Structure 1
Amino acid sequence: MASMMAPETMIAGVELGGTKCIATLARGKDILRQQRWATEGPETLDRVSATLAGWQDEVPFEAIGIGSFGPLCLDPGNAHFGRIENTPKPGWAGADVHGHFARRFALPVGIDTDVGGAALAEGQWGAAMGCAVHGYATIGTGVGLGLVVDGKAVHGRLHPEAGHMRIRRTPGDMFAGACPAHGDCLEGLVGGPALAARANGALADMPDDDPLWDRVARELGEWVAMLILCVSPQRLVIGGGVLDFRPTLLAKIQVAVAANLGGYLAGLDLAALETLIVPPALGRDAGPLGAIVVGHNALMESQA
């Protein structure tokens, strides 16, 4: 489980998402300053670091944490550490996100995925407090998963890329998928661009009982059931823009998970799943506060 942060420690955080970037200055979970930009090319990092430099002159902070879209190289022994790997986002493949800030600030700089950071924040202050094994899934432009075990985000060869898992297709669904790498992987079916392509009209105008939402719930329900079987989390937090936009989807996902598990796991009936699969307690602050936790962890490692 996560160790509690010292509330007086000032940390700067950068949440670098596929569509937006948020810089945050915080003591613990108390956000003091925040600024947002659209994520354009890597020059976005120059705007962010300039803002952080201005904050540093006025209110000195002790470390910087970064929660970035990926894939990321998170192996400190690899020459590509802190760089974005193969991504379809123009201009970002190979971008040295960690190095950009490490070269500009004589401070500890930590980096993780945006969902890994959000998972850490929900464990520190949110819906996964007290859980030794928990995850944070985001359903937005893309689909991501951060996993935490005993207070540490899981990294191996890379980091979880569970959004690109394939699931069984609904009979009769001929949608080819929107993922440029895999077509109809989960992200290619339920990510923002996929939903826009699958919808019969504007998503905002679709009622909650439109058949598309049932189909999406079945797809996400199978995915979440597989995660439960593989990882056995004590809590799985699901956030992101799609759930913000369509909060009724969460209950449909819980029902679909129960159907997929088929009663196999003792004690995991629908009532139990409603406490295992939950929305983020930190809301839209999960990502920005995740970067703060990543920065604090980098500070602790530098002092060890």
Structure 2
Amino acid sequence: MKLGAIEAGGTKFVCGIGNEQGEIFDRVSFPTTTPEETMEQVIRYFKEQDVEAIGVGSFGPVDLNKNSSTYGYITTTPKPYWNQYPLLGELQKHVNVPLGFDTDVNAAALGEAEWGAAKGLASCVYVTIGTGVGAGALVEGKLLHGLLHPEMGHILIKRHPEDHFEGRCPYHRDCLEGMAAGPAIEQRWGKKGFELEQTDKVWEFEAYYVAQAVTNLVYMLSPEKIILGGGVMKQKQLFPLIRGHVRDMLNGYVQKREVAEGIDDYIVPPGLGDNAGLSGALVLAKQELERA
């Protein structure tokens, strides 16, 4: 199979060509500017490729209900110009192949379950912490949907006792994204995260917030693996801090070996690295082609 993949992010769109084994043969990226400019480049790329299907993992919120009049739309995003944009419909106008569609983080979870850190498992959660915070979940072999789709980036968390930053989420101020996303780090400390690598308190605050989210995910979804990706999580010192906080927060309540003894292999970085989302989009394309 020759499959197309789109990881539609709020900062950039990554497009690629691969196959059903997860091999990626070609990839390009374009800045996410206006829909007209960005989609023109996406469509031009795929018109030059002879693919059998395309999978799209998109930033959101998105409408995943195939019976809805706005299926395939990016809906109430604060991203300028993209509110209520018919992403899938615009692609369908120009590319006559089956199209799979889901959130970017659901796609990443799917890719990690197929070929990455959660390979062979029936459940996992993929959390990305970067420009925003989002999470996708695979539960008993199926991507989690519902009234909308998982919006775990906006869960409510307790404030660190020493943190007086008000939070920057336009909806909730001090939700997880408002306190832990890359822009929150920069606004709180006046520098980007990579410039603060040696400032311990930055990462103590960050780990405290991410660990609360992870602890809640353990309780709510009981995943077999939790994968933490995104630009912020490239600060490797975060993983041991987060694991330690999670163990403390669980406080012995979850008596499973994976948490009690094997937490280093339970809370992990993406096995596919920066290709998790694009690889997941290949799986979406493959599944849609099989359904067609």
**Normalised by the size of structure 2, how large is the TM-score?**
0.96
Cα distance per residue 1:53-90 (max 9 Å; x no partner): 012xxxx2110110000000000011010001111100
Question: Conserved in 2, the CA contact under 8 Å of 1:208 and 1:248?
Answer: no
Identity of aligned residues (%): 39
Match of 1:22 in 2: 14
Take 1:155 and 1:278, find their aligned partners in 2: how far apart are those partners?
A: 24
Match of 1:233 in 2: 223
State the 1:172 CA deviation. Answer: 3.7
User: How is 1:91-240 mapped onto 2 (pairs within 5 angstroms)?
Assistant: 91-240=81-230
Cα distance per residue 1:90-114 (max 9 Å; x no partner): 0001111111112212211111000
Residue type of the alignment partner of 2:34: G
Residue type of the alignment partner of 2:246: V
Match of 2:29 in 1: 36
Take 1:163 and 1:37, find their aligned partners in 2: how far apart are those partners?
A: 25
Question: Conserved in 1, the CA contact under 8 Å of 2:169 and 2:178?
Answer: yes
State the 1:151 CA deviation. Answer: 2.9
Which runs of 5 or more structure 2 residues have no equivalent in the other structure? Answer: none
Question: Conserved in 2, the CA contact under 8 Å of 1:73 and 1:80?
Answer: yes
RMSD: 1.3
Name the SS for the 2:241 alignment partner.
Answer: helix
Match of 2:236 in 1: 247
Name the SS for the 2:170 alignment partner.
Answer: coil
State the 1:204 CA deviation. Answer: 2.5
Number of matched residues? 289
State the 1:208 CA deviation. Answer: 3.9
Which runs of 5 or more structure 1 residues have no equivalent in the other structure? Answer: 1-8
Cα distance per residue 1:198-232 (max 9 Å; x no partner): 12544333244521210110111111000000000
Structure 1 residue aligned with 2:45, among 34, 48, 51?
Answer: 51
Residue type of the alignment partner of 1:137: V
Residue type of the alignment partner of 2:240: A
Name the SS for the 1:29 alignment partner.
Answer: coil
Match of 2:78 in 1: 88
State the 1:45 CA deviation. Answer: 1.1
Take 2:54 and 2:244, find their aligned partners in 1: how far apart are those partners?
A: 40
Residue type of the alignment partner of 2:46: L
Take 1:49 and 1:118, find their aligned partners in 2: how far apart are those partners?
A: 22
